[in-house]
């Protein structure tokens, strides 16, 4: 099972997962249709499905264009707000595409209809892969736009945290350096955070993605996965893990917030303009 990491827009990732025996492929979060199709042709694969983690335009904008060009192409997700949605999935549902298996994991919080996709290939020794959208990032987690700390705790610790530790984590954005700088504020004595931050900065200098990480690694340096650790609890002043999660998210939202940061409606409008520019540039 080959995973192509595709950088789009300002800091988004979309993914193309390829079954190398058949050359069939699945896309995750197809935000820019033209770029995805260019890579599909370059890799000489057959696109079989689109999986969408949530409805935000920077993860789903390309769906409509793809379905228009390929009317039989299925689009999977859990939220009716997803553009081009054809198949609504439920928690723990298993999808099968040739030898590739996809387990759908409902993870509401960033949006009320967010889903992560856990994949493995039959007979393949490679570690399984988790496409976590905006629920779990390298060193961080998504904002609680439509959910609660209770939900994010369940998502990270119970749902995703129970997957095999070797699972590779492919997230929706390149936020790693920013996340790890916050993690270092939370746990200044955590050597795993320091090492990962140094590594991430070197990757950034060479313009190389920091994905994937692994679940095992995330439990070492991601404060949102470490809400039961004494040092993280001390930073928040709380001991109940859900309370720790709630305080961490509030602190992260305020962490080095740029003075000229756009409000959410303006930010969404800006993302929309980027998407339209990306599409029109290739029309």
Active site residue 253: no
Distance CA 195, CA 238 (A): 27
H-helix segments, 109-190: 149-153, 176-186
Angle at 248 between CA 90 and CA 258, to 5 degrees: 105
Give strand ranges (E) for the chain. Answer: 2-8, 12-19, 24-28, 46-51, 75-77, 87-88, 94-97, 100-106, 115-121, 129-133, 136-137, 140-141, 168-171, 213-214
Active site residue 59: yes
C-beta of residue 172 within 8 angstroms of C-beta of residue 13 = yes
Instruction: Tell which phi-psi region holds residue 94, choosing left (phi > 0), alpha (psi between -120 and 50) or beta.
Output: beta
Q: Which of 24, 29, 56, 79 is catalytic?
A: 56
Active site residue 56: yes
C-beta of residue 119 within 8 angstroms of C-beta of residue 94 = no
Active site residue 192: no
Distance CA 226, CA 213 (A): 16
Q: Which of 58, 65, 79, 114 is catalytic?
A: 58
Q: Which of 54, 55, 79, 114 is catalytic?
A: 54
Q: Which of 29, 55, 59, 114 is catalytic?
A: 59
Q: Which of 24, 29, 65, 134 is catalytic?
A: 134
C-beta of residue 225 within 8 angstroms of C-beta of residue 187 = no
Q: Which of 29, 55, 114, 173 is catalytic?
A: 173
Active site residue 55: no
Active site residues: 54, 56, 58-59, 110, 134, 173
């Amino acid at each position: 099972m080959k995973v192509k990491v595709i950088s789009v827009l300002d800091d988004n990732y979309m993914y193309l997962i390829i079954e190398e025996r058949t050359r069939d492929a699945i896309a995750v979060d197809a935000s820019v249709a033209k770029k995805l199709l260019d890579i599909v042709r370059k890799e000489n694969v057959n696109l079989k499905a689109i999986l969408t983690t949530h409805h935000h335009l920077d993860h789903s904008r390309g769906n409509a264009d793809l379905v228009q060009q390929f009317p039989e192409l299925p689009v999977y997700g859990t939220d009716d707000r997803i553009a081009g949605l054809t198949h609504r999935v439920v928690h723990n549902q298993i999808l099968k595409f040739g030898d590739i298996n996809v387990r759908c994991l409902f993870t509401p919080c960033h949006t009320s209809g967010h889903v992560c996709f856990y994949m493995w290939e039959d007979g393949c020794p490679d570690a399984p892969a988790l496409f976590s959208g905006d629920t779990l990032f390298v060193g961080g987690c998504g904002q609680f736009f439509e959910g609660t700390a209770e939900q994010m705790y369940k998502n990270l610790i119970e749902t995703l945290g129970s997957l095999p530790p070797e699972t590779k984590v492919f997230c929706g954005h390149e936020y790693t350096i920013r996340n790890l700088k916050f993690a270092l504020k939370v746990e200044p004595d955590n050597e795993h955070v320091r090492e990962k931050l140094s590594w991430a900065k070197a990757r950034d200098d060479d313009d190389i993605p920091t994905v994937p990480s692994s679940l095992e690694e995330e439990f070492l340096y991601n404060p949102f996965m470490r809400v039961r650790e004494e040092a993280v609890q001390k930073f928040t002043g709380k001991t109940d893990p859900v309370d720790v999660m709630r305080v961490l998210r509030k602190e992260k939202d305020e962490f080095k917030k740029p003075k000229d940061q756009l409000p959410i409606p303006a930010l969404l409008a800006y993302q929309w303009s980027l998407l339209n520019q990306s599409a029109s540039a290739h029309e």
